[in-house]
Amino acid sequence: MVQFIFPKILFNSMKIRHIKELLDTMYARTWKISEPADHMIDFARTLKKKAGAILDVGCGAGRNSFFLAQEGFSLVGLDISANALKLATERARREKTQCMFVMGTFLRLPFPDGYFDAAFSSYAIENVSLQLIRRALSEMKRVVKKEGLLLVTLHSPKHWRFGQGKELAYHEFLTFQMIKNSKVEIVTHFFDREEAERLLQDTGLKILSMREILRIDEKQRAHWIITLEK
Ligand SMILES: C[S@@+](CC[C@H](N)C(=O)[O-])C[C@H]1O[C@@H](n2cnc3c(N)ncnc32)[C@H](O)[C@@H]1O
């Protein structure tokens, strides 16, 4: 069964809708990838010990949701983009995979406390300011059961975009990207190990593992891959 749930009011102003379309264009590159991220394969092994319902936060076109569903987990993918969810829903139909896709924001997850056995955000909650990352983390923690597992990715200062644009706060930069001839503002916070550890400890999550990965395609992309326990 594939479900697609629309919230009552989302993006009702023309301006927000325009920005959304531009951001969709920016994320479309990731949505074209059908294989899961490498770190999800390790995470699936860790999850095996505690199978159950899992939330994919900022699921995009669902590449990680599909992988985990095929591994036998019950998956719910949440994303703010109607375009991403359309791609995910079409793939679920095509591949006859049982995933549920929900439209919403990770800043206020539309699920009750302790609903999921695990939750993860792969390259999603990292694309906002520190203040909003805090909020997204505390939402993820809220919807996971006690002792449930979490995985998050965060930007590392070794990423090629570190230091670009206007510095808004410590390791937080405002950059502009030209998308379809429009200027879109992007806020990114980059974490060194100590700051990431402090943030996660502040949210009351226990760090199980933390490693830095570098991917070099046309430029160097650097992220922390962190697994946590509530
Ligand atoms: C770089 S993509 C990663 C998608 C997917 N996790 C993957 O690895 O393929 C980031 C995703 O986060 C979603 N996103 C951005 N802001 C969001 C928000 N406030 N709430 C929910 N999803 C959001 C975007 O629509 C996009 O699909």
Contact 230, 167 (CB under 8 A): no
Q: Which amino acid type is present at position 226?
A: I
- Distance between CA atoms of 124 and 21, rounded to whole angstroms? 17
Contact 226, 193 (CB under 8 A): no
SS3 of the chain: helix, strand, coil, percent, to 5: 35, 35, 30
Ligand 1 pocket: which of 80, 109, 122, 139 to mutate (most atoms within 8 A of CB):
80
Cβ of residue 81 lying under 6 Å from some atom of ligand 1: yes
Domains of the chain (ranges, CATH numbers): 2-157+191-229 (3.40.50.150)
Q: What is the pLDDT of residue 185?
A: 87
Which atom of ligand 1 is found nearest the CA of 84? Answer: 27
- Average pLDDT score, the chain: 91
Q: Which residues contact 81 (CB under 8 A, 6 or more apart)?
A: 20, 23, 24, 27, 60
Which atom of ligand 1 is found nearest the CA of 56? Answer: 6
pTM of the model as a whole: 0.92
* pLDDT digit string, tens, across residues 199-208: 999 999 999 9
Q: What is the pLDDT of residue 14?
A: 64
Contact 145, 209 (CB under 8 A): no
Distance 20 CA to ligand 1 centre (A): 12
Cβ of residue 66 lying under 6 Å from some atom of ligand 1: no
Distance 58 CA to ligand 1 centre (A): 4
Q: Which amino acid type is present at position 68?
A: L
Is the pLDDT score of 62 beyond 80? yes
- Distance between CA atoms of 160 and 214, rounded to whole angstroms? 10
According to DSSP, residue 190 is labeled: B
* pLDDT digit string, tens, across residues 127-170: 999 999 999 999 999 999 999 999 999 999 999 999 999 999 99
